[in-house]
Structure 1
Amino acid sequence: MTKNTIKSFHLGHKFRLKPLFSLVLLLSVAGCTQNVKVDTTELNALNARYEQMRNSEIADSAPVEMKFIGEKLERAFQAMNSRDNKTAANLAEQIELDFQVAETRAMVNRLNDELLDAREKVLEAEVLLDDLTEQLQ
């Protein structure tokens, strides 16, 4: 396992509780935005991060999330320009969480690709073992 592997509680063999709980907790916190002011600098930083992610593997791995982020950025700038600070702050917080979801999806896709490669190597090794065993008999 790598350092980035999420440690989780297991219920049975396939259900991982901790990542699911973390996602629910993050989404719950997103609804608790205080009346915080969002400034142009913060939105510009989010926009710069979005542009950077659009040019990375994350955009390929999480196109839906990237679309949501782009739409929310546009709405956040509109809300800030119309002095709707609560909406702008809420959208900025949602965008941060969407970044995390997109990054997680990219990581899951990368790990899945590694798993598929490892399975392919195991199958090749099993075929080779069978051939060698047959030759020895």
Structure 2
Amino acid sequence: MDQQQQAMTRFAAGALAAAVLLLAGCTSPQKAPATADVAVSRNAVENAVSAGAAELAPEEINAARDKMMRANQALAARDYKLARELAIQAQADAKLAQSKAVSTKATAASNQLNEDLRVLREEVDRANAAPSPAAATATSTTRQ
């Protein structure tokens, strides 16, 4: 009877382990990464909007928002693989929108600095071309 009890104990332990593995298989290991990716993409969209992407890169930010919305829908439908893919794409679109916005602002600032430098050069050239009042007075007194 002792061997029979040990066999039953091993069988019960094996059945319990199989049940645990079966239940673990039912919970999706993709849920946590998909949820995290959706949160990261939401943050990326917010950062892009803060950088001015809505005005300076509207196509890219709209694409990011659309993919983020679809990722949320996929997450709600428990399609974690699709949710993760869409979230990653939304994040990439948001980063592109943010980069375009920052680049556009930097180009505008550079153009403004170049214009300011041009105006300063013109003023310096004008000042150097016109005789100074002291030099004009000195030349008129030497002629007399």
Runs of 4+ in 1 over 3 A off after TM superposition: 38-42, 51-56
Structure 1 vs Structure 2 CA RMSD: 2.5
Give the secondary structure class of the aligned counterpart of 1:64. helix
Q: Which one of 46, 56, 73 corresponds to residue 61 of structure 1?
A: 56
**Mapping of 1:15-30 within 5 angstroms?**
none
TM-score (norm: length of structure 1): 0.61
How far off is 1:98 after superposition?
1.4
How far off is 1:73 after superposition?
1.0
Consecutive unaligned residues of structure 2, counting only runs of 5 or more, are: 1-28, 133-144
Aligned residues: 102
Whole-angstrom distance in 1 between the partners of 2:120 and 2:102 = 27
Q: Which one of 102, 105, 113 corresponds to residue 108 of structure 2?
A: 113
Letter in 2 for 1:58: A
Larger Rg computed on CA atoms: 2
Q: Which one of 81, 88, 92 corresponds to residue 83 of structure 2?
A: 88
Q: Percent identity?
A: 23
Residue range with higher mean Cα deviation, 65-74 or 39-48? 39-48
Give the secondary structure class of the aligned counterpart of 1:67. helix
Consecutive unaligned residues of structure 1, counting only runs of 5 or more, are: 1-35
Structure showing the higher helix proportion among its residues: 2
TM-score (norm: length of structure 2): 0.58
